[in-house]
Chain A
Amino acid sequence: MKKKDSIIKGIVNSVLPVILAFAFGAIIIAAIGESPLETYGVLIRKSLLTEKGFMNTLHYASPLILTGLAIAITFKANLYNMGVEGQMLLGGFFAGITGAYLNISNPFISKLICFLVAIICGMLFALIPAILKAKCNVNEMVVTLMLNYAVSKTLEFLTTGVFKDKSAGYVATPTIKEDVMFKRFGASRMTMFFVIAMIILVIMYFVMKKSKLGYEITAIGKNPEFAEATGMNVGKKIIIMMLISGALSGIAGAGWMLSDQFKYTLTFSANPGLGWDGMLIALLGGHSPIGILIAAIFYAALKTGSDSINMYTAVPKEIVAIIQGMIILFLAVKFIGDKTSVFGRFKKAKKEDA
């Protein structure tokens, strides 16, 4: 009974912001004289109900699943790795460079090396705040947040300088060799990367729900004193969690590079960025792997759908950005607390008035 209750609360807390955001979007669409129903119809039909649209959605969801997981594993332990974006960029960049310069004929091995390079980059970059946090108790939120800008500017420098592709007409690194890139499935943009993301999702499901590490992460998040008293080396776990988070971010970056981008450009991660989107997805999904999968697909559907809105209706595609922004805003409101029931709260308020 209690468990059922908490699941319902969790769903309400995730779904209500989405509904409110769409309602708000509907008002704006109506205000510019278009039909909200028709617009949303296009959005859903083109992103989820056609084969190509759905596969594109899954393609866009792939890196988001991974960045979402990277955020969730640390947030669950009340550790705030805000550096997923930076770790992902670094992984993507060096995977791209490796893919462009590597001279191995076996496409499988060359892909593997690209991924390994990205994983190492992500982990090393996550290690800095992890060690600072575990050994000197430096606030990881500040360090990871700031390092994002450091990495983004460094990569900008490298792209415009050392690794600039002179033949390209704009700022970009050399293009990855054709056989290193993932092959697309049919007419859609989907590649093997989605399968890899799903495999990692399953692994992370077991890690978070069934493993010793997952148990310890939960314990550290819910009651650090209890975790320490029952023998968990919290400092060591912080480093392990950050390394996993960095590795997942690195894979997200490499996968996005090898499945979609071909080269590192300054808009590699788009706006606001795959890492930031991952944060929203982790929050929407309640830090659970299944929730993250659903949230990532939903979020990617908005992305594919936004192009269709532009094409088939008179509503500008920016409406989707408004909806995304509204979701973030409404997510910040916790509609139902963990312990209070909705009616209990009203009763209390009434009592206080009296």
Chain B
Amino acid sequence: MNSMIQTVDLTKKFNDFVANDHINLDVKEQEIKCIVGENGAGKSTMMNMLYGLLQPTSGKILIRGKEVTLNSPVDAIANGIGMVHQHFKLVPSLTVYENILLGAEITQKKGGMKTPFIDQKEEIKRVEKLIQENHLELNATDKIEDISVGGRQRVEILKMLYRNVDILILDEPTAVLTPQEVDELIATLKNLKEQGKTIIVITHKLREVMELADSITVIKQGKVVGNVLKKDTSERELAQMMVGRDVVLTVNNERKQQIESEIMYKAENLTTVNDYGKEVVSDMSFEVHKGEILGIAGVEGNGQSELVKLMTGLMESTKGTVFFDGKDITNWWPEKLRKAGIGIIPEDRYAQGLCREMTVSDNCIAGYHGEKDVCKHGLFNKKTINAKRDKYIKEFDIRLGDVNGNIGNLSGGNAQKVIIARELSANPKLLIACQPTRGVDIGSIEFIHKQILKFRDAGNTVILISSELSEIMSLSDRVIVMYKGKISGEVSPKEVSMAAMGLLMAGIGKEEQDHEKER
């Protein structure tokens, strides 16, 4: 088969950070190619280059063997490449056909002359024909706001098909879909393939990959680590390729004292739904003992973010209770949680942890700005706040250009250190650390890991949520793995193999694993 789209040594650098490192991709005509990899592996960067949203630092993109330069999505569409984004770009108050033809409206013609009026009849006719040709379940005159999420995705696909693309890129298409809708999508995509389209799907859900793909490319840390055909591989092998890693972290995790029997944190049947009404955390129950680090692992998008939001008071549970230190803290506000002795390192540091446009010292007191030492009778004491900031800078080795400047000027690692300094200096009993080292340089990673261990060694409790498996494995005393909002297994990091972890992360539980061994 001929190559439809090829990349040769495609490289993208953001300053010093190499997001894509000499990627060689080869997608054949009329095949479904799945690109798998962890978040931050560089999948989206690569696709954005193929769709003209980003320009490569070096390397070439070839379409049907001819080199192309893609400066914008317009170029990409002209070259027959269409993309369906994870977050739909539709106008909810307009109908299906209006959305599809947005920017390409058909105008009425009177006696060979163009008029500025839209020919709605013709538009509906064309869109209906398109829907029929592709065997999609859609009504051209429905409003977007009235149709399901799966339907909206079909509209996005149609938008691209109307523009006659041959290559369709889908970014995490199943992230927002229900299982039934996922099945429908798979059927739709296979049908499109039959019609002669080439499809590239970015995902990290291995089951869907096995159902969908003809060939699979695994990307890790900006590099291609494997190119396999579906018929030659298994879910197990893919999981290993995705999570297997060579970076060995050097922190020394030797326990100095025993884990106490006292239960510090306990969740019972915790359940919640997301904005789309889909259950994203289902019946999760776990306990954390005093002086223990509990790691929560899992491929991203399996409910970890929502679990963290539940635990940190940013989302309400629909069911279940949470106990901390003997108190029922279900659905408490973040303010109350911090007062009760819970330190929070949030998942997205610039969304929930820091305010870029506020100064370093303002950020140093966030969440604790009502404490007596900085705020008396509602007025701040600038001196103590600045002293606090200087103390954090010294103790946590925060490197910054201008102490009076905004926090947005700090590098990722140093900004993260501000959060860690702030949360740990409040002397909490429990630390909920979510992706504490995401996007942080190696030096800072080690420093942050040491701080977390030091905190634990002082007899405190930590819940660590991370998609970095090595981080979970080297820091945790006990690990639970999440899959589709549920716990798929609990393991001891010293005893479990990477392969077994990979399976748990792919949703294949312990019993099933044993079962398979017996066979």
* Interaction A to B: yes
Given A223-B357, A230-B334, the answer on whether A213 and B352 have CB atoms closer than 8 Å is no
Interchain nearest-CB distance for A229 vs B (Å): 4
Interchain nearest-CB distance for A222 vs B (Å): 5
Contacts of A213 in B (CB 8 A): 378
Whether B380 lies near A212 (C-beta < 8 A) is: yes
Whether B367 lies near A230 (C-beta < 8 A) is: yes
Within 8 A of B (CB), among A1-59: 1-3
Whether A229 lies near B353 (C-beta < 8 A) is: yes
Interchain nearest-CB distance for B343 vs A (Å): 12
Interchain nearest-CB distance for A36 vs B (Å): 40
**Is A137 an interface residue when CB atoms closer than 8 A count as contact?**
no
Whether A3 lies near B378 (C-beta < 8 A) is: no
| Binary contact track B391-433/A, C-beta < 8 Å → 1, others 0 | 0000000000010111001000000000000000000000000
Whether B352 lies near A211 (C-beta < 8 A) is: no
| Binary contact track A209-228/B, C-beta < 8 Å → 1, others 0 | 01111011011001101111
Contacts of B327 in A (CB 8 A): none
**Is B369 an interface residue when CB atoms closer than 8 A count as contact?**
yes
A222's partner among B335, B346, B355, B380 (CB-CB below 8 A) is B355
A12 to B291, CA, bound (A): 56
A228 to B335, CA, bound (A): 9
Given A206-B379, A210-B380, the answer on whether A228 and B405 have CB atoms closer than 8 Å is no
B314's partner among A219, A223, A228 (CB-CB below 8 A) is A228
Whether B366 lies near A230 (C-beta < 8 A) is: yes
Whether B369 lies near A215 (C-beta < 8 A) is: yes
Contacts of A212 in B (CB 8 A): 369-370, 375, 378-380
Whether A229 lies near B358 (C-beta < 8 A) is: no
Whether B346 lies near A218 (C-beta < 8 A) is: no
Contacts of A222 in B (CB 8 A): 355-358
| Binary contact track A231-242/B, C-beta < 8 Å → 1, others 0 | 111000000000
Residue of A nearest to B376 (CB): A212
Contacts of B366 in A (CB 8 A): 219, 226, 230
Q: Which of A206, A216, A218, A230 has the most CB of B within 10 A?
A: A230
Contacts of B370 in A (CB 8 A): 212
Contacts of B346 in A (CB 8 A): 229
Interchain nearest-CB distance for A346 vs B (Å): 20
Whether B406 lies near A223 (C-beta < 8 A) is: no
**Is B354 an interface residue when CB atoms closer than 8 A count as contact?**
yes
Contacts of A219 in B (CB 8 A): 355, 358, 366
A211 to B375, CA, bound (A): 8
| Binary contact track B348-362/A, C-beta < 8 Å → 1, others 0 | 000111111110001
Whether A210 lies near B402 (C-beta < 8 A) is: no
A226 to B353, CA, bound (A): 6
Contacts of B334 in A (CB 8 A): 228-231
**Is B154 an interface residue when CB atoms closer than 8 A count as contact?**
no
Contacts of A230 in B (CB 8 A): 334-335, 352, 366-367, 369
A225 to B347, CA, bound (A): 12
B382's partner among A210, A227, A232 (CB-CB below 8 A) is A210
Interchain nearest-CB distance for A233 vs B (Å): 7
Interchain nearest-CB distance for B344 vs A (Å): 8
Interchain nearest-CB distance for B496 vs A (Å): 33
B402's partner among A2, A216, A218 (CB-CB below 8 A) is A2
A219 to B359, CA, bound (A): 11
A231 to B336, CA, bound (A): 8
Contacts of A215 in B (CB 8 A): 362, 369, 380
Whether B355 lies near A211 (C-beta < 8 A) is: no
A283 to B498, CA, bound (A): 59
Given A2-B409, A223-B356, the answer on whether A229 and B379 have CB atoms closer than 8 Å is no
**Is B388 an interface residue when CB atoms closer than 8 A count as contact?**
no
**Is B333 an interface residue when CB atoms closer than 8 A count as contact?**
yes
A218 to B402, CA, bound (A): 21
Whether A211 lies near B380 (C-beta < 8 A) is: yes
A233 to B333, CA, bound (A): 8
A2 to B357, CA, bound (A): 12
Whether B379 lies near A211 (C-beta < 8 A) is: yes
A210 to B352, CA, bound (A): 23
Interchain nearest-CB distance for B201 vs A (Å): 30
Contacts of B336 in A (CB 8 A): 231
Whether B378 lies near A211 (C-beta < 8 A) is: yes
A211 to B379, CA, bound (A): 4
| Binary contact track B321-343/A, C-beta < 8 Å → 1, others 0 | 00000000000011111100000
A226 to B402, CA, bound (A): 22
Whether A231 lies near B355 (C-beta < 8 A) is: no
Whether A218 lies near B358 (C-beta < 8 A) is: yes
Q: Which of B346, B378, B382 has the most CB of A within 10 A?
A: B378
**Is B271 an interface residue when CB atoms closer than 8 A count as contact?**
no
Residue of B nearest to A222 (CB): B357
A48 to B34, CA, bound (A): 73
A231's partner among B338, B351, B358 (CB-CB below 8 A) is B338
B335's partner among A1, A3, A233 (CB-CB below 8 A) is A233
Contacts of B45 in A (CB 8 A): none
Contacts of A216 in B (CB 8 A): 369
Residue of A nearest to B314 (CB): A229
Residue of B nearest to A213 (CB): B378
Interchain nearest-CB distance for B271 vs A (Å): 22
A226 to B351, CA, bound (A): 6
B355's partner among A3, A206, A226 (CB-CB below 8 A) is A226
Whether B351 lies near A225 (C-beta < 8 A) is: yes
Contacts of A1 in B (CB 8 A): 402
**Is B20 an interface residue when CB atoms closer than 8 A count as contact?**
no
Nearest 6 CB-CB pairings of A with B: A231-B335, A229-B352, A230-B367, A231-B334, A230-B366, A223-B355
Task: Kindly list 20 other residue pairs between chains A and B, CB separation below 8 angstroms, not including A216-B369, A219-B366.
Answer: A206-B379, A211-B379, A212-B380, A215-B380, A218-B358, A223-B351, A225-B351, A226-B351, A226-B355, A226-B366, A227-B355, A228-B334, A229-B312, A229-B334, A230-B366, A230-B367, A230-B369, A231-B334, A231-B335, A231-B336
Can you name 25 A-B residue pairings with CB atoms under 8 Å?
A1-B402, A2-B402, A2-B405, A2-B406, A3-B404, A210-B380, A212-B375, A215-B362, A218-B362, A223-B355, A223-B357, A226-B352, A227-B355, A228-B314, A228-B352, A229-B312, A229-B314, A229-B351, A229-B353, A230-B367, A231-B313, A231-B336, A231-B338, A231-B367, A232-B335
Instruction: Give chain B's interface residues, CB within 8 Å of chain A.
Output: 312-314, 333-338, 344, 346, 351-358, 362, 366-367, 369-370, 375, 378-380, 382, 402, 404-406, 409
